[in-house]
Amino acid sequence: MTRFAQRFVLEREIGAGGMARVFLGRDEVLDRPVAVKILNPHHSGTEIGARFRREGRTAARLSHPNIVQVYDAGEDELEGREVSYIVMEYVPGGDLKAFIDEEGSLPSDELAGLGSEVASGLAHAHEKGVIHRDIKPHNILIDAHGRPKLTDFGIARALDATQATRTGSYLGTALYSSPEQLRGEKVTSKSDVYSLGMSLYQAAVGEAPFSGTPIEVASQHVSRNPDAPSALGVDLSEGVETLILDCVQKGPERRPTAEEVHERLRDETRTVRTTRAPTAPPVSGPSPTGHTRPEPEEPPTGPPPGAARGGGGQRRWPILLAAAALLLVLLGTATAAAFGVNPLTALTAQGENEQASSPEDPSSQPAGSGQESTFEQAASEDTAARGEGENTNSSGGSESAPAEQALEDHYRAAADGDYDEAWNSLSAGFQQRIGSQGAYTNQFGTLESLDFEEGPTVQVSGNTATVSGVTIATHTDWTERNTAIWTLVSEGGEWKVDNITISNRQLI
């Protein structure tokens, strides 16, 4: 046993992968078992280490009986090296994927009960402005009392942030990903609902609706509707089957919210118990599936074991890069964003020329740079072209000063934690595209200040202002330099932020 972070004892390793290891530990202060997820040491001093810690803090804000609780996150020394860690609730009953593999599909009433509880936890996260992005049976754990718990809120995204792992990790979870994720489009709470629907489908039928290589699966998500479970001989109530098929609609606007899923499945529940999981941990021996798995195995139709979340290592890169290129042809250039490739340069960039400092998928950028998947930038129009060839005023003019001040006020409010003011300084159209205040302002939780290093340069054309410049964003754990373009529009005599495009981002 090893003492760690002054209060924890690491008893044994219960999971390992290319990015992190998970230990069963004990909190000596509160005398309770915990799962300690430790980032591999060579990542601790890098950007991915900062993201890992930030995502741990994000997950710690969630408190719900159907979400694995995060207790602590930080850095400490292990085996003579500085490491980043996250301490979580220990869930001893395994995950839903293992349960389906061992026990088979769930009856209609038990499926409704399990799905209702998972959707309740997901709805809580969405209310807090947190999008999971990786709902799948592997991330639905079963506790010792048979209660399902969602895990890995954002942690998987933090682990997938490096150039080396983004492609492999995304291909590994394509089995449950929404069409908009695979096309590199805006990821919202409805994307989580799609993935939940796919997970419930697998729990009902015993297997996922689409099969084949990851590329074939991704293409089917975009272009094909799954067969109704009843057509495959599965005995589900009409309400449960209809709900599952509603969740996996191609258009996000046609899917229910997580709260609606919870309510509809709750109405379908006919028993108190929600799963057939035993009341004691079913796994014993050296590798219990007690908590989040850094490298969960995918179904046989997907990549070989270890491909998920970068577990395949360097020997998998040529295959995965080729797969990404093929999917780019199948689904269009917008798909590149789903694999961590800037869609604006995907047609000309070569894999060997990609640099770690190149622009990443904006859905995984740190706070303050518009990082949340609910805040799309990569697919936005070229805002610099607005007003080109028309009469404009450069920074300092009487017309440009109010627009510049409005942008400054927006970020001052965000850094001061005045999120209502920050949200109200966005245009109505921008608010509608984002979806909710929490989805936008959640990104500012670590922002301390934002200052212009270059600019701002403001051009005004009628009711539109284009601001360009280079900012220094100071966060609690890191500082970054962003080259960006902001578009503001005049609404009711006030300038409102209407779009933000970051063309280059560097940690400093």
Residues 118 and 267 grouped into a single domain: yes
pLDDT reported for residue 154 = 56
pLDDT reported for residue 478 = 66
Give the CATH number of the domain where residue 461 resides.
Answer: 3.10.450.50
Quote the pTM value.
0.53
Residues 239 and 102 grouped into a single domain: yes
- Last residue in a domain, options 64, 89, 114: 89
Residue 117 placed within a domain: yes
Three-state DSSP class for 69?
coil
Cα 123 from chain centroid (whole Å):
15
* Catalytic positions: 134
pLDDT reported for residue 201 = 98
Residues 72 and 125 grouped into a single domain: no
Give the CATH number of the domain where residue 238 resides.
Answer: 1.10.510.10
Residues 46 and 102 grouped into a single domain: no
- Last residue in a domain, options 310, 333, 351: 310
How many angstroms separate the Cα of 106 from the Cα of each of 87, 234, 265, 274? 31, 10, 14, 10
Order of all β-strands in the sheet with 479-491:
447-461, 464-475, 479-491, 494-507
9-30 confidence digits (pLDDT tens): 999 998 876 678 899 999 999 8
How many angstroms separate the Cα of 111 from the Cα of each of 101, 266, 299? 15, 10, 20
Residue 321 placed within a domain: no
Which range marks the domain in which residue 459 is found? 383-507
Residues 181 and 241 grouped into a single domain: yes
Residues 268 and 142 grouped into a single domain: yes
Question: Which regions of 109-161 does DSSP assign to beta strands (E)?
Answer: 140-142, 148-150
* Spatial separation of the C-alpha atoms in residues 102 and 134, rounded to whole Å: 23
Residues 71 and 109 grouped into a single domain: no
List of residues 6+ apart from 34 with CB closer than 8 A: 8, 24, 25, 26, 27, 71, 87, 88, 89, 90
Burial (Cβ within 10 Å: 0-12, 13-18, ≥19) of residue 461: middle
Three-state DSSP class for 213?
coil
* Spatial separation of the C-alpha atoms in residues 187 and 178, rounded to whole Å: 9
- Min mean pLDDT across 1-10, 97-106, 263-272, 378-387 is at 378-387
Residues 429 and 481 grouped into a single domain: yes
Residue 54 placed within a domain: yes
As a whole-number percent, the residues of the chain with pLDDT over 70 amount to 68
Q: Which of 151-160, 179-188, 198-207, 302-311 has the highest mean pLDDT?
A: 198-207
The verdict on whether omega for the bond into residue 305 sits within 30 degrees of 0, i.e. cis, is no
Q: Residue 307: is its pLDDT beyond 60?
A: no
pLDDT reported for residue 345 = 28
**Of how many residues is the chain composed?**
508
Residues 159 and 20: beta-carbon distance below 8 Å: yes
pLDDT confidence band for 397 (50 / 70 / 90): low
Residue 501 placed within a domain: yes
Q: Residue 305: is its pLDDT beyond 60?
A: no
* Spatial separation of the C-alpha atoms in residues 167 and 372, rounded to whole Å: 19
* Spatial separation of the C-alpha atoms in residues 372 and 365, rounded to whole Å: 7
User: How many Å is the Cα radius of gyration of the chain?
Assistant: 23
Of the two residues 246 and 310, the one the predictor is more confident about is: 246
Q: Residue 180: is its pLDDT beyond 70?
A: yes
Triad 457, 444, 86: Cα angle to 5°: 140
Q: Which of 47-51, 90-94, 117-121, 182-186 has the highest mean pLDDT?
A: 117-121
pLDDT confidence band for 432 (50 / 70 / 90): confident
Q: Residue 160: is its pLDDT beyond 60?
A: no
Region for residue 133 given its phi and psi (left: phi exceeds 0; alpha: psi -120 to 50; beta: otherwise): left
Of the two residues 308 and 506, the one the predictor is more confident about is: 506
- Our count of domains for the chain comes to 3
320-355 confidence digits (pLDDT tens): 333 333 333 333 333 333 333 332 222 222 333 333
List of residues 6+ apart from 312 with CB closer than 8 A: 18, 168, 303, 304, 306, 320
Residues 401 and 253 grouped into a single domain: no
78-136 confidence digits (pLDDT tens): 888 888 899 999 998 889 999 999 999 999 999 999 999 999 999 999 998 888 888 99
Residues 55 and 145 grouped into a single domain: no
User: Chain-wide mean pLDDT for the chain?
Assistant: 73
Q: Residue 436: is its pLDDT beyond 90?
A: no
Residue 298 placed within a domain: no
86: its two tokens: 């996250």
Residue found by looking up tokens 């590329």 in the block = 215
Give the CATH number of the domain where residue 30 resides.
Answer: 3.30.200.20
List of residues 6+ apart from 404 with CB closer than 8 A: 395, 456, 458, 467
* Element holding 111 (H helix, E strand): helix 108-127
Residue 318 placed within a domain: no
Three-state DSSP class for 117?
helix
pLDDT confidence band for 60 (50 / 70 / 90): confident
pLDDT reported for residue 177 = 92
- Min mean pLDDT across 69-73, 285-289, 457-461 is at 285-289
* Spatial separation of the C-alpha atoms in residues 345 and 335, rounded to whole Å: 12
**Of 304, 294, 52, 292, nearest to 172 (Cα)?**
304
As a whole-number percent, the residues of the chain with pLDDT over 90 amount to 38
Residues 109 and 39 grouped into a single domain: no
106: its two tokens: 């769930």
pLDDT reported for residue 108 = 94
